[in-house]
Structure 1
């Protein structure tokens, strides 16, 4: 056997591939996937409280930006948002007042924006009522007989 043929045989007998076929899109891709399933239907009011000079407020502000995107806002047009700026070094928090009267508070000092999106989907988006699809009845035009065209 020649040296080239031996070289080809050695490289074709390699270990089979194991692992992910492609890399993940990163944090921004994960956040966009979570935002696709966010719905504000069970929420009446969202209230953000934070000190802008607090060292852990950046992720809360990112979450506020994501949750107030026009695509998310279209899921519930009656939901109101309130931002309370405090200058007393308190930890940031987000309060969700639900339609059924409950109140859910996220203490967001040690959470990332992705974790807040996941928690929102886990605890709040599941409370949204299921959408029912109603089939349209058959109209008169669809039930007419088709007459064949006569050839001359």
Structure 2
């Protein structure tokens, strides 16, 4: 006699944390000059903005543009949270993040900002003396 399985079967999706990890891996902050996050920590809407702050300060994201400062403004005026990206071409992008999740904000950054990054050209292969002789 066997006991029926009552656990959860894992699907192909790893859930929210794997989705965030996937977006962070494809994140490129090279076209960004400065990031400013404004939120009131006493409102429940700021939780996802703080989670987004945690995501973009990861080592993988910071290594894409170490010269990009990430500033936070902690407000106490019940204003809605927002994320301001100042781009190197002079434009700015503002996310009003009251109703956005951290995953949605990362997807928006990858859709609108990462695509502006300059394409890296592959380096020419190194040719040694023995290869030149052939």
TM-score by length of 1: 0.78
Aligned residue-pair number: 125
Q: Which runs of 5+ in 1 are unaligned?
A: 1-20, 146-152
- Is 2:26 the partner of 1:37? yes
Larger Rg: 1
Structure-2 residue corresponding to 1:119: 108
- Is 2:98 the partner of 1:109? yes
The C-alpha deviation readout for 1:51-107, integer Å capped at 9, x for no partner, is 010121100000000001111101111101110010000000000000000010000
Q: Which runs of 5+ in 2 are unaligned?
A: 1-9
RMSD after superposition: 1.5
CA distance in 2, matches of 1:31, 1:117: 7
CA distance in 2, matches of 1:120, 1:143: 45
Which stretches of structure 1, 4 residues or longer, exceed 2 Å deviation after superposition? 141-145
The C-alpha deviation readout for 1:25-66, integer Å capped at 9, x for no partner, is 001111111111100000000000000101211000000000
CA shift at 1:142, angstroms?
Answer: 3.1
More helix by share: 2
Secondary structure, counterpart of 1:57 in structure 2:
helix
CA distance in 1, matches of 2:11, 2:78: 43
Match of 2:41 among 52, 57, 74: 52
Match of 1:24 among 13, 33, 42: 13
TM-score by length of 2: 0.88
